[in-house]
Each structure stands twice: as C-alpha cells, then as structure tokens.
Structure 1
Amino acid sequence: MLLGRTLALYFSGRFLKAILGLFLLAAVLIFLFDVLELVRRGADREGFSVLRVSLISLLRVPLLLEQVIPFAVLFGSIAAFVSLSRALELVVTRASGISVWQFSMPALVVGIGIGVFSITVYNPAAVWLQQKSDEVATGLFGTEQNFLMQTTNQVWIRQDGLDGESVILAKQLLNGGTRLLGVTIFAFDHQGTFQERIEADEADLGKQIWHLKNATVYTTERDPQQYATFQISTFLSATQVRESIGSPESISFWHLPQFIDLARNAGLPAYRYALQYQTLLARPLLLAAMILIAAAVSLRVSRFGGLGGLILGGIIAGFVLYVLSELSKDFGGAGIVPPIVAAWAPGIFGVLMGLTILLHQEDG
C-alpha cells in the first residue's frame, strides 16, 4: 500500500517542525552563551555596548550553527518518531499495511531537502553574515578575541617582493585575508639585512602591493616617519594569502570551486578547501543517515518501551558519526586520503548502519 499524499505531507510537517524546533533552541542557547562571553571579555573596552555585542553575536551565530544541523536532524527525527508512536499514529499506519520504509520516506525527503537548502542558501548567507560580524567587531576586541577572527591566533606571513623579503604580523584579518588590521611589517633587503619596521592601522592587498594606511616607519638611521598612506611590494596573490591564513569555513559553497582551481593553478595544496566543498556536497547524505539512525533507535522503543535506551542509542549513534567525521576531516585535510573519500565516508557509513539495523528489526 502506498503512502497517500495527505499523510506524507502530514508526516513531513511533523518532522520539519521537530527539526526546526531543536535547531532554533540550539540557536538561542548558543546566542545567549556567546553574548555572555563577549560581554565578559569586552565590557571594559572603549566602544563597548550591549547592543553592539548582541549584533556581533547575532551575525556570527548562523555559521556556528552549521555544526549543529546534523544533530538537530538526528534528535529532531527521534522526537518526531517518538511523538508519532505515542499518539499511536505509526501504529495505525502500520496496521493499514504501510511499511517502515514508506512512512520513513517523508522524513528522508525533509532531511535531504534541509541538506540541499543548507549548502546552497544557508551556508553562503552564514559566511556573509560572519564577514559582517567581523566588520562590526573591528577595533573592539583586539587580539584577545581571536575566536571572532578567521584564524586561531595572530597572523604571521612571510613574503617576498621587488624590495626584498618581509615578515608581516597582523592582529586581525578580514575579507579572507586581503585586508589586515593592526599590522607590523619587518622589512629586509635582498641580502637579508634588516631595513625597517613599519606599523600601520590597516593593509589592503592590491596587485603585487600592500596599501598601508596611517603607517609609521622606524629605522636605525632616522627618527620615525609617519605617512597617511604607504606601500610595500609583494609577490603574494589573494589566493596565496587565503591558503596561508584563511579558514575553509570562511568561503561560501558557491565560491569554493573557483578558489580550489585558483589554488591548484598557483601550485598550492587545496586539500582543506576541497574537503570543505565535498563535505558540503555530502551533507544531504549525512542528514539522510541521521534520519535512518533515528528510525532505527526510535521504532523499536515505540513497540517495546525504554525511553532511556532511546536517548542513549541516539547519543551513541551521533557520537560515532561525529568521531568518524572528525577523523575523516583530519585525514582529508592533511592529504592522507582523498578529500572526496574523507567527506563522503561518514554519510555512507551512517546510511549503511541505519539500513542494516532497520532491516534486522523489520525483516529479521
């Protein structure tokens, strides 16, 4: 017997509401904790206000929530399955001759739809909002708030140019590394002899040149000289800067293929960015795996009871997939295994695990 359209839409709505409910709950919790952390670290700084901090957190929470999507789907699906079972709706559905595969199909469609939406719309929007968050936070937190930046610590760049080699230290980076704030540059000549130290408020990457603003040049031969604008040559391209200091998560889904091609054409390793791209592509499969696992741990409980076992089973399943995903990312990011294998392996493993458990439970 086929699942009717009305019943399929009803089941789809129940799963979508449960998943979105958990996702929004996670968003509120992350936002509150993030605001409290920003208030703790920035309350004594010039330019601080609760409204500004709240805006910073609100803009950057969507990117943080990307990591929550698989777990929201897993536990939201478990909640939906349990709710339908307690209301005896699944019992009636089964009694009418509809199999577990048929009434699980609406949930799978919802999960795959969420996956497609998250990579094509949500991810680019979250990356854009994160960039706006960095702009709002500019000058407020300084070097202590590295978790607001796109790197994990202060940025060091070694470069070469027409004038010789130089080392750049930046306190904050924006726009994928093409704009640096709080810049200190140690410049050397072609023989490697130290020439000058340059401190500037900002550095913008142009074509084979860094444009510095409000720069102060220190040398051993004369007093410090101040310049409204200053320039220093570089052979670095925007691609090379991003590969050196940028985070793959700071590049949207639609821009990743172009950036991967640019990196490869420049002779740079693109493992991390290829892995991020493949991970996003594999997200619908991973979410389908979460729904199958939710069905596997929920439907047995609906017949035999045991809410504690349900919760434990869901936590264990989510933990296993999380560990597998992290190991795959480490191997793929280091180039030990191909990025496509590292990205798709957790989803394939999850689908096979869910199907195996369901086949054992339903068909023996």
Structure 2
Amino acid sequence: MLLDFFPSAALTKYLARLFVVRIAAVLVMLVLILQMLDLLSESGKILAVPGNGQAQLLHYVSMRVPQLIARFLPYSVLLATILTLVTLNQNSEVVSMKAAGMSAHQVLAPLMLTAAAIALVNFAFNERIVTRASASLKAWQAVDYAKIPPVSQVRTNVYLRDGNNILSAARLSGTGARAVMDDVTYFERDANAMVVRQTRSPHATFANPGWKLDAPVSFTVATAQRAPLAPEVVARGVTPAQVAISAVDADGEDFMTLRASIAAMKAAGRRTAELEGKLWHKLSGPLSAALMPLLGAVAAFGLARSGQVLIRAVIGMALGFAYFVVDNAALAMGNFGAYPPIVAAWAPFVLFALIGETVLIRTEE
C-alpha cells in the first residue's frame, strides 16, 4: 500500500531527475550571484591588511560559499519546484498523469521524496562543513582579516557578569591560564545598575583570580574625567571556565556540541532560550526543503490554456516565501522569550505543512 503512493519506477526517476537538475541549476545561480556581491563588499577590507592577496580572497570564498549553500538551498528547492511543475503543466504531462488515474499527491510524491533526501543531505552538510566554516570565518573577521587564529581558541563578543559589574571583550583567545582578552571594557555599576566607572584596556590576561588589565584607562561618570591607571586586576570572580560557557556560538557548533553547551549553561544558571531555539532550528531549517514541493504544488495543476499557470506559480511562490518570513519572525520571537524555543522552531513548519495540504486537497483532491 505504501508503494501505491508513488507512480511507476520509471516516472518516479524521470520526475526526480528533472527536479534535481533544476535545484542544482538554481542553487548554482543564486550562490554565484550572491557570492560575487558579497565579495565586492568584503574584498576591500581583506586586501587592506598588509600581506593579503588573491589567496586570502579565495580563502574567504571557500568559507562563505558553504554558508550561502546552506542558507539558500531551501529557496532553491522552492524555485525549482515552481519551474518543474510549470514545465510539466505547460507540456500537458500533468494532465496525462491525472488522466492515467494518478492523484495530486502521487504526482508530487517523487518531488517530495527527493526534497526529503536533499533535506537530510543539507543537515549533514550543515553539521560537518557549515559549522566549521562559520566558526573559521567569524574568528577571521574578529581580527579584521589579519592572520587567522585557531578556531577552537578564539571567541568573539564575550560578555560576563562579575556580581553587579560587567566585563566585556571583543575577542578571547587561548584557554585556561593562557587565556587572553582583547579590547576589554570593565563596567563598574552601583546598586541601581548605573555605570559609575568604565575602564578600558587593549589586553587582559588571566591573573588567577581575576583578569589583569594592561595599560588601562578609566572614565569616571560623576566627574567626566579620563585617567590612565597602572595595571590592575578586576573581575576576580570570573574564571576561564565561565568564559567558555558564556561564549557559545550556535552557528559554529554542531547539534550535539550545542546541546552539551546548553546543558552547561543551564547548570550555570544562564538563560538559554535563544540557543535552544537555534538548536531546534538546526533540524527544522534543513527540513524546510521537504516542505517546498507541497507549498509550490499549486503551480502543477490547472489548464495551461486557461491563462492561470502564471497566477498559480505566483501563489506557490508567495506561499513558499511567506514560510521563510514567518519562520524568521517566529525564531526572533523565541529569542525574546515570547515563544518556547521548540514552538518557535517548529510551529511555522507545522503551520505551513497544514496550509499546503489544505490548499492541495481543496483544489485538486
């Protein structure tokens, strides 16, 4: 009975081959155009660093392309769905398949199966390649495209609480006692959480306990005066282990690593709603590719001579792009705590799956 859901093996292979070719063509086109535009905006910054040249530009492209592929693969599946179904409709192939007794779901089954396989490949691609590329690129951008630091020992935008005070740093390199912070700012606050003094330093090293500021300069809010200080130790309650827990980059960690990081942050009493939403989105994001044939299915049906093919294609495209808009909005709401993380990640997928199925059943079945 399960095999009855699919058409014959020959027709399934034919439809799957058409679909895969169009997905690849659309994806290559999108990635090439977007990569050229992105490189135009970043090449000046890369080449401004002494010693950087063509090799560094190519290295940037090698790290940026995986991100573009992972981000725009679902869009490519949507556009390829519209192109495939419109072509089949205009050539009366859909009419022939329905005349042979196939239902709308059977016509779409090969495309949905292909999209599901692509979603699995996309998930594996994200886990093995995109996370590493994202971590490498962020670490390189953190030093303004200078010498690339080791990915595992560089964290950016570190933000830590020392009681009522705040310690922040643009970068953290090294681990344990060899940890070094760059572009450090220490905010001293009163009982009302108002900043009373701000101390800046180009570097800070772990002093066990605390962090030693090199060449610090203080700014006192009450007197509005700046003054250079001797090297001093601040944030004695902040350890390198706390830094490692706080500086979690969801884009640079795979599913299992991010899950362990979230567990460590929960144990430390830190807020993890944003990271949990991104954790679940590592599953729902790639899986959205499997949803695109259902949302674009409306383009497959209707008589080509009726002049409604273009309208149906636009409707299918609108449904697909509406999903991405709602998905991003729900994820943002989850980050603010308005939705539970699992709801923020999965609600748009379930909602649009029901919408697509409803449209298909009411119009074609």
TM-score (norm 1): 0.76
Instruction: Write the distance in 2 (CA, Å) between the matches of 1:68 and 1:279.
Output: 15
Could you list the per-position Cα deviations for residues 43-81 of structure 1 after superposition, in whole angstroms to 9, with x for gaps in the alignment? Answer: 433233233123113302322443322211111111111
Q: Report the equivalent of 1:331.
A: 333
| SS of residue paired to 2:182 | strand
Gaps of 5+ in 1: 143-149
Percent identity reads: 20
The 1:115/1:211 distance shift into structure 2, 3 A limit, reads farther
Instruction: Write the distance in 2 (CA, Å) between the matches of 1:134 and 1:159.
Output: 23
Quick check: 1:115–1:287 contact (8 Å CA) kept in 2?
A: yes
Instruction: Write the distance in 2 (CA, Å) between the matches of 1:7 and 1:57.
Output: 39
2:85 is aligned with 1:77:
no
Instruction: Write the distance in 2 (CA, Å) between the matches of 1:236 and 1:312.
Output: 56
| SS of residue paired to 2:296 | helix
The 1:117/1:292 distance shift into structure 2, 3 A limit, reads same
The 1:293/1:185 distance shift into structure 2, 3 A limit, reads closer
Gaps of 5+ in 2: 147-153, 189-194, 219-225
The 1:283/1:130 distance shift into structure 2, 3 A limit, reads closer
Instruction: Write the distance in 1 (CA, Å) between the matches of 2:308 and 2:348.
Output: 28
Q: Report the equivalent of 2:238.
A: 235
2:56 is aligned with 1:52:
yes
Q: Deviation of residue 303 (structure 1)? A: 6.5
The 1:196/1:73 distance shift into structure 2, 3 A limit, reads closer
Quick check: 1:169–1:184 contact (8 Å CA) kept in 2?
A: yes
After alignment, is 276-285 or 320-329 more displaced? 276-285
The 1:247/1:104 distance shift into structure 2, 3 A limit, reads same
Quick check: 1:19–1:72 contact (8 Å CA) kept in 2?
A: yes
2:113 is aligned with 1:105:
no
- Code of the residue aligned with 2:39 in structure 1: it is V
Output aligned runs, 1:21-32, within 5 Å.
Answer: 21-32=25-36
Instruction: Write the distance in 2 (CA, Å) between the matches of 1:107 and 1:130.
Output: 30
Could you list the per-position Cα deviations for residues 260-296 of structure 1 after superposition, in whole angstroms to 9, with x for gaps in the alignment? Answer: 2112111112111111121222246533332101112
Of 335, 355, 358, which residue of structure 2 is paired with 1:356?
A: 358
Quick check: 1:286–1:350 contact (8 Å CA) kept in 2?
A: no
- Equivalent pairs counted in the alignment come to 342
Instruction: Write the distance in 2 (CA, Å) between the matches of 1:222 and 1:284.
Output: 52
The 1:85/1:138 distance shift into structure 2, 3 A limit, reads same
Instruction: Write the distance in 1 (CA, Å) between the matches of 2:290 and 2:305.
Output: 23
After alignment, is 19-28 or 306-315 more displaced? 306-315
| SS of residue paired to 2:183 | strand
Q: Report the equivalent of 1:292.
A: 294
Q: CA RMSD in A?
A: 4.1
Q: Report the equivalent of 1:168.
A: 168
Q: Report the equivalent of 1:147.
A: none
Q: Deviation of residue 362 (structure 1)? A: 1.4
Quick check: 1:111–1:284 contact (8 Å CA) kept in 2?
A: no
The 1:312/1:86 distance shift into structure 2, 3 A limit, reads closer
Q: Deviation of residue 160 (structure 1)? A: 3.2
| SS of residue paired to 2:302 | helix
